[in-house]
Structure 1
């Protein structure tokens, strides 16, 4: 799957750049033809009386395989037609003018299918390379069951595939640059044809250098352009600020093209353009390697087949890839879902802010299912509950894939069903961990949820963002549903474990309480605990705002606002990936630190303060105009937000338990807290959506930032830190 992802991402990158360069080449060739025709028109010859129009127009047809035909009009009268004109959506239209007004139109038709066929034929041999590398990988893994061999083989094979695909992308990009260079050289040769075709010396003309300067500035991708006749320089224009002159002097970016007579046009491209394109490809593949590596890590112990594992450890190892895959199917949609839901709201005559309501439906379904799910795994076979949860989540993704933007009922059902499904998955995985862990591996087992959730989110956001440019929104929804289908089958390798059998095996009485009685008990616990100042203070100032920031800012507002700024979906996914990576890193480090020093209050206060800083940076980011600066500052903001949530997620439960009245059991406090903080999940997108509707983006973000800073100060001043062992 990793090798196929490399191939698809490389193919999508090559297709995108080659399409653009092909279109630019045709446009430049069309401009060259326009110059030739207008030169005749301005001498007073009517368009219909120009001789040899077919010879003048043929270079456009031959300039690129994507050109399927063209049509020349004089007013509304068709003068010339060649090829087919079926693809109306992909065409170039250029006006033809004489000295006084527009008298004609030249329309060139392009076929994107032709470009795709060219790129596809170039990439087809890569399937054989995938087969060869796969055999190499399998052979090396079968020789040893050590994880080090598995990881090394994965890395070597992945990089070998990446290098080959990058060389292919670079080759296609260079071909596109060459085609564009030919078209640009044709424009220059048309403009300087009298100098190149007749015996006119350079000292007999003026203004040629300034004309080339104007042409180079009109085509900012050019670093230099020079015209020669019989090896003698006629005119030149060079961008003195251009990078990469050493590359140009070595011929890396320079093209020499012969023109009419003994003329020659030499031009070179800006090194920044080529380096920027290669850097983008490198960044995409580096992120893809990181994302695939996380997925690989979840499968490694299961697939490497290491011996000496107890049956309990084997179940936990099977649980890792399953939970990661379940999170991955939802995270794949993260870079595109806010924009998609906004388009649904607008298509149904609702404001863009209404999309936050659709977004909150997922978390509402998730929160409402937590208690029933906990009851279900105690009553029924836990594997059946898990299977049903994955099935519901898969159905939610499939409904999105088969829904039109106007079918609001399907969208509402899809998001609510997905939330219910993910809640069943979460509770079932947690149930398996509790049943198949003991004192020797309980901490490691609990870490499965933390690692797999964050790794799944990182991988999903990164991979989804890279694939959406080729597959589109509907394609991503379909891929998510396909992953869910695979996970449904994969869940069958887990052991069947009915709740009654588990309790009997562990000497536990079969509970007779109904779901309603459990809900009443939770309501009673909630009512009792919200009267405890320390509990409600932590809930209102830390817990609920943190979850609201996750859903309202990270998952909803940031992707939506980046899309409105015109930032690519690849960059949006990479920004979200940064957040999850920092949460994973900080959470791993902060837990032992809080346990050692008993400073949960400091961690929570600092976390709130970092959230405020993050929102200030985010406000600054969305006040900028340059895409690269917006992405850079948004990434920095997500680093702060990830650090904030990493400082809060684990210590907040410790703080609540340690600072709640002694008569309350720790488990009751923790469960009630986790349930109530879901209010932040549900309300986050709605609150942020309304603020963005009422205020400017910067004002809304600064308002939320002010809340977090004030909450941090209040919490630090008024909350009392209890000794960590107060309840022991």
Structure 2
């Protein structure tokens, strides 16, 4: 699957860049033809009287394989027509003018299918490479069952595939650059045709260098243009400030193209353009490797077949890839879901703000299912509950895949059902962990949920963003449903587990007991203070800012889906890293209050950084500052997620009730933040500008941090 993802991402990148270069080449060749025709028209010759139009127009047809047809019109009269005229495809329409007005139209028909066929034929041999690399990988891991061999083989095979795909992408990009260079050279040769056809020396010309300067500035991808006649320089224009001038001078980006009259046009591209494309491809593959590596790590013990594992350890190892896959299918949609829900709201005349309500439905379904799910795994076979949860979540993804933007109720049902399904999965996995862990590995087993949730979110956001540009929204929903189908089958390898002992009370009595615990704990100042100032705001920031507002605003600002996914991935990666480090630190120094206070301050800093980012005009600055903001937000939530439970349990130590009861009640109540987060942020964005809304929320977090710190100090003084 990793090798196939590399192929798909490389294919999508090559298709995107080659398609754009093809259009640029045709546009440039069409412009060259227009200049030649208008030069005759301005001398007073009617368009219909120009001789040899077929010879003049043929270079457009031959400029690129994507050109399927061409039509030249003089008013409503067709003067020349060739190839297929498909109005449903893409087309370029150019006006032809004489000295006074428009007298004709040149229409060029393009087929994206031709470009796709060209790229597809280039990538087809890579399927054989996948088969060869897969055999090498299988052969290497069969020789040894050690994890080190598995990881090394995975890394070597992945990089081998990546290098080969990058070479193909570079080859297609080079071909596109060459086609574009030919078209640009034709424009220059048309403009300087009198100079090239007659013996006019450079010392007899004025203004030619200036004309080339204007042409180069109109085509900013060019670093230099030089025109020669019999190896003698006629005119040139060079951007002396171009990056990588050494590469240009070495000929790495230069093209030399002959013209009529023993002329020659030499042009070179800006190194920034090529380096930028290469950096984009490298970044995408690096992120893909990281995402695939996390999935690989979840499968490693299971697939490497390490011996000497107890039956309980084997069950826990099977849980890792299953839970990661369940999170992955939901996270895969994270970069596109807010925009999709916004389009649904607008298509039904509700306005963009209503999308926050659709977004909150998932978390509402999740929160409402937690208590019933906890009862279900005690009363029924836990594997059946898990299987049913995966089926519901899969059905929710599939329902989105079959929903049009106008089918609002389908979308509402899909999100609510997915929330219910994910809650059943979460509680079932937690139930397996509790039943198959003991004092020897309880902490490590609990870490399965933390690692797999964050790893699944990172991998899903990264892979979903890379695939969204090629497969589209409906394709991503379908892929999510396909992953869910595989996880349904995978869940069958887990053991069947009936309740070990009969449970007292029914679902209603358990809910009443939770309500009694909640009412008792709400009366405890330390509990409600932590809930209102830390717990609920943190969850609201996760759903309202990270999952809802950031992808939506970035999409509105024209940021690519790849960059949106990478921003979200940054958040989850930092949460995973900080959570791993902060737990031992809090246990050692007993400083949960300091961690929570610092977490709130960092959330405020993240929101201020976001406000600054969204006020910028440059796409690069927006992405960079948003990534920095997600670093702060991830650090904030990493400092809060685990220590907040420790703080609540310690703060309510004098109250009646077990630690597990306090923790369960707190986790349930803080889901209010999950449900309300998108709604609150959505309303603020409706009432205020983006910057103002984010600064208002930042002020709340700053006040909450100061208040929490002050109350904690007061509590310490009272204790003394």
Q: Quick check: 1:268 aligned with 2:268?
A: yes
Q: Is 1:536 equivalent to 2:519 in the alignment?
A: no
Q: Which residue of 1 aligns with 2:650?
A: 658
Once the two structures are TM-superposed, the CA of residue 77 in structure 1 deviates from its matched residue by 2.1
Could you tell me whether the CA contact under 8 Å between 1:348 and 1:408 is conserved in 2? yes
SS at match of 1:308: coil
- When normalised by structure 1's length, the TM-score is 0.98
Q: Which residue of 2 aligns with 1:138?
A: 138
1:589-610 CA distance string (max 9 Å, x none)? 0000000000100000000000
Q: Give the one of 662, 675, 690 matched to 1:682.
A: 675
Residue 290 of structure 2 is matched in structure 1 by 290
CA contact (8 A) 2:386 2:429 kept: yes
Q: CA deviation at 1:719?
A: 2.3
Q: Distance in 1 between matches of 2:315 and 2:503?
A: 26
Aligned to 1:68: 68
Matched with 1:17 is 17
Who is 2:694 aligned against? 701
Rounded Cα–Cα distance in structure 2 between residues aligned with 1:541 and 1:204: 80
Who is 1:104 aligned against?
104
Contact 1:88–1:109 (Cα < 8 Å) also in 2: no
Q: Aligned-residue CA RMSD in angstroms?
A: 1.0
SS of 1:719's equivalent in the other structure is: helix
Alignment of 1:167-206 (within 5 A): 167-206=167-206
Decide which of 571, 576, 582 is 2:563's aligned counterpart. 571
Decide whether the 8 Å contact of 2:255 with 2:267 is kept in 1: yes
Bigger mean CA offset, 95-104 vs 455-464: 95-104
Aligned to 1:506: none
Native 8 Å contact 2:89 2:111 kept in 1: no
* Corresponding residue SS for 1:69: strand
Q: Match for residue 507 of structure 1?
A: none
1-side partners of 2:409 and 2:576: how far apart?
36
Q: Which moved more, 1:186-195 or 1:711-720?
A: 711-720
Deviation of 1:722 (Å):
8.0
Counterpart for residue 341 of structure 1: 341
Pair 1:126–1:565, CA change in 2 (3 A)? same
Is the Cα–Cα contact under 8 Å of residues 397 and 481 in structure 1 kept in the other structure?
yes
Question: SS at 2:315's partner residue?
Answer: helix
Preserved contact between residue 224 and residue 269 of structure 2 (Cα < 8 Å): yes
Task: Give the conservation status (yes or no) of the 8 Å contact 1:71–1:80.
Answer: yes
In the TM superposition, 1:72-83 aligns within 5 A as: 72-83=72-83
Q: Is 1:608–2:603 an aligned residue pair?
A: no
For 1:146 and 1:511, locate their aligned partners in 2 and report how far apart those are by CA, in whole Å: 43
Conservation of the 8 A alpha-carbon contact between 1:659 and 1:722: no
- Kept in 1: contact 2:327–2:456 (CA 8 A): yes
Q: Secondary structure of the equivalent of 2:260? A: coil
Shift of 1:426: 0.1
Q: Distance in 2 between matches of 1:423 and 1:664?
A: 25
1:625 equivalent in alignment to 2:610: no
Deviations 1:213-256 (A, max 9, x none): 00000000000000000000000000011011111122110000
What is the match of residue 370 of structure 1? 370
Contact 1:537 1:719 survives alignment (8 Å): no
The DSSP-based 3-state class of the residue aligned with 2:300 is helix
CA separation in 2, counterparts of 1:309 and 1:210?
77
Cα shift at 1:720: 5.2
User: 2:503 — aligned with what?
Assistant: 511
Local SS of the residue matching 1:59: helix
1-side partners of 2:545 and 2:660: how far apart? Answer: 30
Structure 2-normalised TM-score? 0.99
In terms of mean alpha carbon deviation, does 620-629 or 73-82 score higher? 73-82
Report if aligned partners of 1:385, 1:424 keep a CA contact under 8 Å in 2.
yes
Which of the residues 689, 709, 715 maps onto 2:708? 715
Aligned to 1:547: 539
In structure 2, stretches of 5+ residues that fail to align are none
SS in 1 for 2:612: helix
Q: Retained in 2: the 8 A contact 1:150–1:304?
A: yes
Q: Indicate the residue corresponding to 1:332 in structure 2.
A: 332
| Distance in 1 (alpha carbons) for counterparts of 2:661 and 2:257 | 79
Q: In 2, are the aligned partners of 1:601 and 1:721 still within 8 Å (CA)?
A: no
1:88 offset after TM fit, Å? 3.3
Change (3 A) 1:152 1:87: farther
CA distance in 1, matches of 2:529, 2:102: 73
**Residue 198 of structure 1: how far off its partner (Å):** 1.3
Q: How does 1:114-125 map to 2 (within 5 A)?
A: 114-125=114-125
Query: Does the Cα contact within 8 Å between 2:69 and 2:85 map onto a contact in 1?
Result: yes
Question: 1:86 Cα deviation (Å)?
Answer: 1.2
Task: Tell me how far 1:616 sits from its aligned partner.
Answer: 0.1
Cα deviations by residue, 1:93-117 (Å, 9 ceiling, x for unpaired)? 1111111111111110000000000
**Deviation by residue 1:382-430 (Cα, 9 ceiling, x = unmatched):** 0000000000000000000000000001000000000000000000000
Rounded Cα–Cα distance in structure 2 between residues aligned with 1:341 and 1:686: 13
Please say if residues 618 and 637 of structure 1, whose CA atoms lie closer than 8 Å, have aligned partners that are also in contact. yes
Pick closer, same or farther for the CA change 1:606–1:218 going to 2, 3 Å: same
Q: For residues 155-175 of structure 1, give each alpha carbon's deviation from its aligned partner in whole angstroms, at most 9, with x where no partner exists.
A: 000000000000000000000
Residues in 1 aligned to 2:539 and 2:79: alpha-carbon distance in whole angstroms: 66
2:638 paired residue number: 646
Q: CA deviation at 1:721?
A: 8.9
Would you say how many aligned residue pairs link Structure 1 and Structure 2?
716
